[in-house]
Structures are given as structure tokens and as C-alpha cells.
Amino acid sequence: MNNNRIHIEWVDGLKAFAIIAILLNHFVESFGLFPWFSFPSYDWPDLGTRISAILPSEGPLTWRIVQFLGWLGDMGPGIFIFLSGFSLTFSALQKNEKGIDLKNFYWSRLIRIFPLYLVIHILVMVSGAFLGDKSYDFFSSRMFLSMLGLRASDGLFFFINPSWWFIWLIIQLYVIFPFLYRYLVRAGIPAFILISAGFTILSRLAGLLNITYSSRLEWWMMGLFFGTRLFEFTIGMVLAKLFLEKRFDPSKISILKLSFVSLALYVLGFVASLFYPTTLISSAIITIGLSGLFLSIWKTIDAYLPLLKRPIVWAGVASFPVFLIHQPYLGWLSRGFSGLNKAFILIFILFLAFPIGRFIELIVNKTITSLPRIKNKIIITSILISLTVQVLLNILFFFTQQHSVYKLDVLIFIINIFFIPLYFLLGNKIKNLNLQILLWTFLPSSLVFCFILTSNWFNIFWIFIIIQLAVVILISMLTENVFVRFTLPSVLVFVLFLSGEYYLAKNHPVEVNRWGEFPSLQKDSVTVYTLIPNKETHLKYNNYDYFVKTNSMGFNGPDIDLSFKDSRELRILIIGDAFTMPEGLEYPKAYPELLRASLSELYPERIIKVFNAGVTGFGPNEEFAQLSKYIDTIKPDLYINEMFINEFDEINLDSTARLNSLKFSKLPFRNELFSGNQIPFQVSFEIDKLLKDNNYLNYIYFKSLAYFYEKNSILFTEKNKNKLKNYFLNVKALCESKNCKVVTLYAPGQLEISTPADIDYYPHHISLNDTSKYDLDLPRKIMKELSNNAGIPFLDPTKRLRSNLIQPVYFRGSWHWNSEGHKVIADFVDQEIQNQLKFK
């Protein structure tokens, strides 16, 4: 385009008007004023509200006009999309190119976009930290993905600086441009328009039907996926071809005619943007109409106000850096101001953005063009150093788990990703086989770990690398084909890990990311969560492999007739946690069912009905909600409240904290696939266990619940005691009001009962016999006191569990009673009912 001055002026003129429209939009929105048009959203108000809100209704007339024009400026980026398609196609057609050299094209686009974007990105990050913005972490994965322009998710699209969404869209369009151009040249304009328009409509329809990976319709339509803005890009390509073929020349169109047609299109597009169905085409029509209006303004200035052309062209030239830099500073520097003072500050910032943005762009471009040609040896040395540092940091992170090491490890991942295009550019010049082997090993692995797998995999990156290296060496010995050497090892390693993951998940799964009981649970408006009614669920995790079969009330066990209460009936309601549900055993082996059978045999004249409303993980708050929910329905004669030692911690969990621990909300797609994988967790754990490092020692300390026996534990503060005291008092009051007896059944921790030989995770690295630090009777004594003070009998099976001839009475690998333990508890409760409660 440097060969024809008028074309530069025309393009830069439209860029100038587009950036002014965008700046006006951001100026208005800085006051918290947003329209209900431009892009649809899933939370749009009704049509009447949207139409009534088109024109601002508050403030002076002048301000309402400015506000409305600012809202219209929200579609300004469409001009840049249109001009990108026009400029790229114009340049390629001037060279009579039938196809585009991919390597040269992508490299030129990379140099054009990324250096300036990265410099401004870093400048904004540093400025934000200096100005007190603590909303982001310099070393977070989101930050690095943003620096790469890969803003492809809801969490990244508007991250740090909302304007940078355009970078992700333009990257997508640049990637597909060579293929679009080739199709335009070969297929011709009609077919090209038809295909690109159809693809755009289908992409936008996917958003309206909510069958996308995004929960934000407005972001999807804005360009989260390039297909929604494709036609605006391709119509620019078509006009470039028509212009060079002299079938379209804007200089020969009268200003009046151009203005009228463009305004009509713009109004049509604006009206279309107010209705869901017509938003399929609204953006494209608005962009075409707005481009024509801006062209009309340019032609008017060119004809009647030539002195304005030079500053407008300059503003257009500076539009890209201004677009990148201005928006964060509007918020930071106007913080604390309002009214006219804020308006003056915002205007000053926007004016200042032009010289500063242009200056930064000139410095960056000058630096790039003045750099000496990069030599292969410098690239190779840098690659080797970064690969070495990456492995060392990864191993260090594996053993230390220090967050600072993790941050550096992620940073090196990103650096290695930058080497991928360099390798492909220089790959034909790298003849050293050993270096090629290293590159074929590390670069695909870095790509996979950085962009595909989730952070839980970083622990075993070095193991992954060893396997990948071995496979690469083997393949390199068998073939000299570069493509096979590069792709086959990655495919084989992927299949190996996929097979290993499948085997572990099917045969030896452990809890990762979510509770092992999660498939059997659902949300509940009263008790936060509960078992899913009328469902049989096979649960296999850790050392457990059992079935949970619920009745119509969502209780583990068979349905029990509640239609009529016979005078001979003895109804017992039991609520507790995993000990009661039970976790690890089918219901017939659980103490509630064993108790029912024993009492039925002991009192043949009575009808014994035992309702097991226990749910894994229930704490005092959920247990009281469960009792309140069912006490009127079940009308129990006796309520057995099973309580575990962790209630001193659980009493502090509200519904939000509980739901967060359960992770009912749907995870992002990548996390859903990889964050719960078995391989990284199990491999890391086994190595930690083998080395007995701090990670493993901390794990078994908390797994064994040894911290509940610390004499100085903050769990036994007066605040926590009072919360449990109130819980017991509320339970007592509710049961008395319903003429129901109540007892507390204490579930001792495994450390209180079993010998170290019977506990797989016994904390041998500490001395529980040190009476100055630990007291294994402490939780039991406090809970007994609180229960008795509330007038609730305390059933303590500790002695019976310890003295049982058959040991262990707990699962060796987990907290809960095994089948023998449930027999002991059933027998113990049976005796207590006979001795203390004297039911007949």
C-alpha cells in the first residue's frame, strides 16, 4: 500500500474515526453507563426495557447526546476488523500472489503484533502494581496466556485490559487468512461471500442457542470465537479485490449517495441489534454502514477541510498502540474523582494516549529493525539453557512444593513455547541430531503441559520428559523422517499416559479434586446436600469398593412405610456422617441395620423401624437441618445423633464453604478433563511416600487427624465450644418438643482405638505419647461435657471398640469402621438402649 498515497490516507482516516469512536465509548463507560444494544447477552431485559433504554434519560441534553454517541462507538472495532481484511488482501493481490507463504506471513504478523503488544502488556502490568491494582498475579497462568494473546476463555477475554480482547480475535483471523485468501482467489467472490456469511451466521446462531464453551453471549458475539466476526473481515477482503479490479472505487461515489446508503445500512443494523434473531447479521451490517459513514466524513474533509487530513492520518497511524494502552489508565488515574473533574481527567488521559502510544510503537519498531540478524548458535544456546533450567526447577518444585519455584517453572514453560516458532523457522539449519532429539522431546512436552494439561500435572513433568526422551531416541534410531520423529513420540507417550490413566481410574482410583462419594450426592435447599433418592451408585475410590442404594427419601437403605404408626412401633432416627451412612460398606453391614435386626429379635412384640438419615461429610449444621426436615415426617421415638471428632471444625462450615468443598459447580472444560486425573496424584504421592519427604509427612499428619488431639489446638476455643453447646441445646429442645428421646453416639478417631500396626497412615514421625503436646481423650471429654450439659446422654463406645477381640475395627487405610466395627457399635447401642433408655 506504500505505492499509493490515497489508499494510505483513506485507511488511516477510517482508523482515526474508529479509534475516536472507541475512546468516546470507553469515556462514557468510565462513568458506569452501558447500553442494552450492540451485542446480545443471556441476561437481556425484556424488549420494552431495551427499546426504552436506547436513549439516555438522565442528565443535561449535551451529556445525553455524548453518552448516546459513546454507546454507538461500541461497534468501532468492527472497522479495524474490516480494514485488516482489506489491507492484507490488498497487499497480497498487489504482489499477484495466488497463495501466501505461510512461514513468511505468520512471521511478519508475529513481528507486527507481538513486540508492541508485549511491551504495552508489561507496561500496564507494572503500572497497575505501582497504582495499587492487586487484582492479578504476575506469575499466574492467566497472566502468561494473556501475554501470549491467547485470551480464549471467559476468564481471559477481558482480563486486565478489556480492549485486549481484540488481540485474540485478530490472531485467529491472521491464522486463517492465508486459507481464506487462497479460497477467494480460486472460488471467486460469490462463493466466497456465501461461505463466509454462512459460517458467520452459524457461529452466531451457536451463541444464541447456548451451545458454545462460553457462558457470556456478548463475548462470544464480540469475537471470543472468530467465526462470529468473520464476515466483517471477509467483506474487507472482497472490497480489496473489487478495488484492484477497478470494479469498486469510493472516489467515484458521491458523498451524498455514500452517506445516504451507509446511514440506511447503519440504521438497519442498529435496529437488528435490538432483537435476538436479527443479531445473527447485525454486526456485519453495522460495520459496513459505519465504514461507509466514516468514508463519507473522510471524503468531506478531503474536499472541504484539507488542513485536517494530516492530523487525522497521524491519529489513524497511532490507533493501534492507543487502542492497546488507554483503557486501564482511565480507571486507575480517575479513581476518586467524579463529575466534571473526572471528565477532564479522562479527556486528558485519552489525548495523552496518542503521543505516548505512538512513541512506544516507534521505539519498538526501531529496536526490532536495528537488531542484528539472530544467529543460530544464540538461539540454540538459549534453548538449551531454558530447557536445563526448566528441568531443574521442575525437580526442585517436586521436592519443595514452594510456590515461588512453581511460578518460575511456569515462566520457563512460557519461554520454551516462544522457541517453537523459532525452531520451525531455523529447523532446516539445525543439523545436530542430539539437539534435534532434545527439541523434539522438550518442545512438544512444554506445549502440552502449558496449554493442555492443568497445573496438577507439573509435579511429574520431569518423569514425562524422561519417558518422552527415551521414546524420541528410539524413534530417531529407527527413522530419519523429520515428521515421524517429531509427532510419533508424542503420540506414543500420549497413548501410554492415556492407557495408564484409564487403568488407574478403572481399577485403583483415589479421591482427586472431588469426594469419592460425589456421584451419589446432590444439592439440597435445606441440608446443603444429600444422597440422591432412588439411586444405586457404585463407589470405588481409595480402599473402598461398595454400593450405595437409596430409598425414596434419599436415605441409604430400603423404603419404610410411614403411612401409619402402629402403637407397637419403635421408630429410631439416626443421623450422622460417613460412619452412619456408612462409607465403605453396603447398608446390610451397617450398624443401623444391624441394630434394627438385633432389637427386632430382642423385642419380638415390637415393630422396630430404623431410619438411617446419615450422609457422608455431614457436620452439626447439616445434621440439625436433616433432623428439622424429617422429624415431623418420621415421628421418631428415639433420635441417635452420631458425632465424630471433626465436629469441632465442621461446626464453622456454612453452606457456601460446604458447597465449595463439594465442587458441585461445573468445572471449566480443561479442568474437567485433567484436574482430577489419577496419574499425577498417584505418582507424586508414591514418590513422596518412598522418600518420606515433608509433603508425605504433612499428608499423614492431617490424614490421621492427629491435630485434633493437640492440647493447644485452636479447634477447642471457647467460641467453637459455644457453637457446639448451642447445637446440642437446639437438638434437645427440638426433640423434646416432638416427644422424642435423644442420645449422642460418639465416633472415636482411629488413633484412639487402633494400634499403629493397624493404621496405614499412622504418624510415626511424631510422638502421640508426649502428654505435654497431645491428649487422645481430649475431643471425647469435651464433647461428652457439652452433650451432658445439654441434657443429652452420651454414648461412648471407646472401651468396647478397644477391647474387641477381633481387630482392627476400622479400615486400615481410612477413618471409618469396617464391618467388624459396625457389629461392635450395633451391639453397644443395643445394650445402651436396654440399660439406659429402657425401651420395652
Q: Lowest mean pLDDT: which of 278-282, 672-676, 678-682, 828-832?
A: 672-676
Distance CA 320, CA 385 (A): 35
Partners of residue 522 on adjacent β-strands: 530
pLDDT at 1: 37
pLDDT digits (tens, 9 = 90+) for 414-447: 666 565 555 555 554 555 666 667 667 777 777 7
Nearest alpha-carbon partner for 541 in 504, 578, 576, 577 = 504
Sorted by where each begins, the domain ranges of the chain are 5-370, 376-507, 519-676+714-763+774-837
The rounded percent of the chain whose pLDDT value lies above 90 is: 58
Distance CA 528, CA 752 (A): 31
Q: Is 40 helix (H, G, I), strand (E, B) or coil?
A: coil
On whether the CB atoms of residues 423 and 383 are closer than 8 A, the answer is yes
**Is residue 692 over pLDDT 70?**
yes
**Is residue 780 over pLDDT 80?**
yes
Q: Specify the residue for cell string 487462497.
A: 182
pLDDT at 837: 57
On whether the CB atoms of residues 217 and 210 are closer than 8 A, the answer is yes
4: DSSP letter: -
pLDDT digits (tens, 9 = 90+) for 459-483: 787 788 788 888 888 888 888 777 7
pLDDT at 432: 60
On whether the CB atoms of residues 19 and 73 are closer than 8 A, the answer is no
3-state secondary structure 357-416: HHHHHHHHHHHHHHCCCCCHHHHHHHHHHHHHHHHHHHHHHHHHCCHHHHHHHHHHHHHH
Instruction: For the sheet with 638-644, list strands across it.
Output: 607-612, 569-575, 638-644, 741-747, 794-795
DSSP sequence for 418-442: HHHHHHHHHGGG---HHHHHHHHHH
What confidence tier does 101 reach under pLDDT thresholds 50, 70, 90?
confident
Dihedral of the CA atoms 544, 549, 550, 556 (nearest 10)?
-50
pLDDT at 110: 85
What confidence tier does 5 reach under pLDDT thresholds 50, 70, 90?
very low
171: number of CA atoms within 13 Å, CB side? Answer: 19
Distance CA 511, CA 677 (A): 10
pLDDT at 2: 41
Q: Specify the residue for cell string 503436646.
A: 773
Selected residue with higher pLDDT from 79 and 97: 79
Q: Is 638 helix (H, G, I), strand (E, B) or coil?
A: strand
**C-beta atoms surrounding 249 within 10 Å:** 9
Ranges assigned E (strand) in 242-374: none
Selected residue with higher pLDDT from 717 and 461: 717
pLDDT digits (tens, 9 = 90+) for 36-71: 778 899 989 888 888 888 888 788 888 889 999 988
Selected residue with higher pLDDT from 712 and 416: 712
**Is residue 145 over pLDDT 70?**
yes
Q: Specify the residue for cell string 510503537.
A: 361
Q: Residue 24: CB partners within 8 Å, gap ≥ 6?
A: 66, 69, 70, 73
What confidence tier does 378 reach under pLDDT thresholds 50, 70, 90?
low
**Is residue 718 over pLDDT 50?**
yes
pLDDT at 3: 42
What confidence tier does 399 reach under pLDDT thresholds 50, 70, 90?
low
Averaged pLDDT for residues 708-727? 93
Cell of 28: 462514557
Average pLDDT, the chain: 87
CA distances from 107 to 73, 174, 201 (A): 32, 11, 31
Partners of residue 545 on adjacent β-strands: 540
Q: Specify the residue for cell string 458475539.
A: 221
Distance of alpha carbon 414 from the chain centroid: 19
DSSP sequence for 747-784: E--HHHHS-GGG-TT--TTS-TT-TTTB-TTHHHHHHH
Distance CA 138, CA 403 (A): 13
Q: Lowest mean pLDDT: which of 484-498, 556-570, 722-736?
A: 484-498
pLDDT digits (tens, 9 = 90+) for 786-802: 999 999 999 999 999 99
**Is residue 387 over pLDDT 70?**
no
Residue type, 782: I
pLDDT at 160: 87
What confidence tier does 251 reach under pLDDT thresholds 50, 70, 90?
confident
Averaged pLDDT for residues 629-657? 94
CATH architecture of 519-676+714-763+774-837: 3-Layer(aba) Sandwich (3.40)
pLDDT at 404: 56
Partners of residue 774 on adjacent β-strands: 710
Nearest alpha-carbon partner for 269 in 259, 256, 258, 279 = 279
Averaged pLDDT for residues 649-672? 85
Q: Lowest mean pLDDT: which of 314-318, 344-348, 463-467, 717-721?
A: 463-467
Model confidence, pTM: 0.59
529: DSSP letter: E
Q: Lowest mean pLDDT: which of 89-93, 454-458, 745-749?
A: 454-458
What φ, ψ does residue 774 adopt, rounded to 5°?
A: -125, 150
On whether the CB atoms of residues 250 and 299 are closer than 8 A, the answer is yes
pLDDT digits (tens, 9 = 90+) for 166-178: 999 999 999 999 9
Partners of residue 536 on adjacent β-strands: 549
Most confident range (mean pLDDT) of 117-131, 218-232, 405-419, 455-469 is: 218-232
457: DSSP letter: G
644: DSSP letter: E
pLDDT at 689: 86
Contacts by residues 586-593 (CB-CB < 8 Å, ≥ 24 positions apart)? 586/546, 586/547, 586/549, 587/548, 587/549, 587/556, 587/557, 587/612, 589/819, 589/822, 590/556, 590/822, 591/817, 591/822, 591/823, 591/825, 591/826, 591/829, 592/557, 592/826, 593/557
**Is residue 721 over pLDDT 80?**
yes
Dihedral of the CA atoms 236, 241, 245, 247 (nearest 10)?
-40
Distance CA 504, CA 686 (A): 14
What confidence tier does 367 reach under pLDDT thresholds 50, 70, 90?
confident
